[in-house]
Every structure is written in C-alpha cells, then in structure tokens.
Amino acid sequence: MKIKLIKVKAKSIFTRSKLPGVKWAINQYVGCQHACLYCYAKFISKWRPPNYGKWGTWIEIKINAPELVKGKYVDGWVYMSSITDPYQPIEKDLKLTKRILENLDKKIKLSIQTKSDLVLRDIDIFKKFKNIEIGLTINSFDGETKRIFEPFSTSNERRINTLKNLKEEGFKTYAFVSPIIPGLINLKDVIEKTKKFVDYYFFEMINVRGAGKEFMDILKEKFPKSYNILKDRKKFLKFIQECKNIISSENIEVRGIATHN
C-alpha cells in the first residue's frame, strides 16, 4: 500500500503521558503503516487535513526529533510510543527511531513497545541505557483475522521470537496482550507461548469506542458471535471475568488489565 509521508518539524518531542506507569511519551511518527483496524489512535485523523487520507495511509515524520532529545533529561519513565509504532516498516530506511536512541540521555528510563522484530536491529544501543524495557504487542491474530485487523504488521510468531531474543540478550521484557476480543484470542495459548520470555504482562480488552464504527461493522459481518458479545454488556462483563480468571490462574506478573467498560 502506498504511504503518504509528510515531513514536519516539532517544537518539542517529550509529551506528558497519562498512561499507567509512564510520565512521558515520545512519538517521532504520527500515523502508522500497520493500519490496524481497531487502533484507538486513528481519532488523530480528525485533526489532520482531509487530503491526508485514511488512517494507515499517511505518516507524519518529525524530522528534527533526534536534535530535540539531544542533551535533554526527563525524570520518570519515557514511553516510545503511544500513538504510533517506533519500528513500523519505514523505520528500516529512515532510521529516525535509531537516531533518537543514539542521542537520548542514557540515564533516561525508557520503555519501548512495538509489533515489529525490527526492534532487534538496535540491541547494541539498548545496552547503553541504564534502565530500559522492551515490550511486544501480542494477540492471536493469524490468517484471515490478521488480514482483517492487522494487515501490515509482523506475525505473532515473529513477535514471540523477538521477545525470546531480547530475553536471551538480558533485557527486561513485557507482553502487551491486545486487543482481547471474544472468540478471537486464546489467552491460555498466548501466555503459554510467551511466559518464558517476559518479565510481566499488561492485558487490554478491545476498546470498542476507540476502535470505531468501521471496526464494529466488519466484526458484525465477519465474526457475528464476537460482535454480539461486545454489544451485550452482560455477556461482555462475563467474558471479561472469564479472562481475569484465566490470567489469575497463571503464575505471571500482571501490571494491569484495561477493560474499557
């Protein structure tokens, strides 16, 4: 798919974050090639010119981001990234994330989250940080479900192998299990395949409001049983409790379960 790249200059690159456990976020890109149908960040399109096009078809590149982090120190955990993926496909050639990492104060506490095994490219830089953790978003999508919901992301198998490689290199790692959709995820399987390679987990139920109408319409058409559970509050709450029961039965560290209900 053709991507529109828009070069912009940012006034600042560290933004305050309300996400649990982090104080700051770095979003060197706005927009994401992965074009995940459920992405809550697509609301940003409303604040961009109409000619940008649909979410997933455009990316803003903050070309001066590496200079903005140089010589700056912020306290608290810094999250990379909250409205984009720092290792989406264009990063392979642009190396914007890599240049930011090279310039970042290595005393900064850094938490990186991605869906891509491209993150392995920067292992040598990660080793220079005193406090760093790296997380991979994991779910059960494959085949048709992946084609519908995450058409351009790395496969879950490669993501799990990435966690394995990072853990073997001695890094603190985590799995962000998301989105949890009734009938479309096998939590026990996800945990079983990842628990040897992560220090902790964060779980997230599908954010129905953030996912939007297009997501729900496609879910209704392709996966009506899943749709019906999400539309019935009693059934959805029962599903959430079932997930919590599975999670609590596992011997794993859990930092949070976002339910969005």
Q: What is the CATH number of the domain that holds 131?
A: 3.80.30.10
The pLDDT value given to residue 189: 98
**CB proximity list for 99: less than 8 A, separation 6 or greater:** 65, 66
The pLDDT value given to residue 2: 85
Mean pLDDT over 149-167 rounds to 98
The pLDDT value given to residue 43: 87
Residue with tokens 């990379």: 80
* Mean pLDDT score of the chain: 97
Mean pLDDT over 96-114 rounds to 99
pLDDT per residue over 230-242, tens digit each? 999 999 999 999 9
Please report, rounded to a whole number, the percentage of residues in the chain having pLDDT higher than 90.
95
Mean pLDDT over 145-168 rounds to 98
pLDDT at 91 over 80: yes
Give the chain's largest Cα–Cα span: 53
The pLDDT value given to residue 51: 86
Q: What is the DSSP string of 193-225?
A: HHTTT-SEEEEEE--HHHHHHHHHHHHHHH-HH
Which band of pLDDT confidence, cut at 50, 70 and 90, is reported for residue 201?
very high
Number of domains in the chain: 1
Which band of pLDDT confidence, cut at 50, 70 and 90, is reported for residue 46?
confident
The answer to whether the beta carbons of residues 123 and 163 sit under 8 Å apart is no
The answer to whether the beta carbons of residues 116 and 77 sit under 8 Å apart is no
The answer to whether the beta carbons of residues 181 and 226 sit under 8 Å apart is yes
The pLDDT value given to residue 151: 95
| DSSP code of residue 52 | G
Choice among 10-19, 30-39, 44-53, 91-100 with the minimum mean pLDDT: 44-53
pLDDT at 225 over 80: yes
Domain that holds residue 47: 4-258
Mean pLDDT over 236-256 rounds to 98
- Residue 72 Cα distances to 11, 80, 107, 139, angstroms: 14, 16, 10, 35
Mean pLDDT over 196-203 rounds to 99
pLDDT at 45 over 90: no
The pLDDT value given to residue 57: 94
The pLDDT value given to residue 59: 97
Which band of pLDDT confidence, cut at 50, 70 and 90, is reported for residue 50?
confident
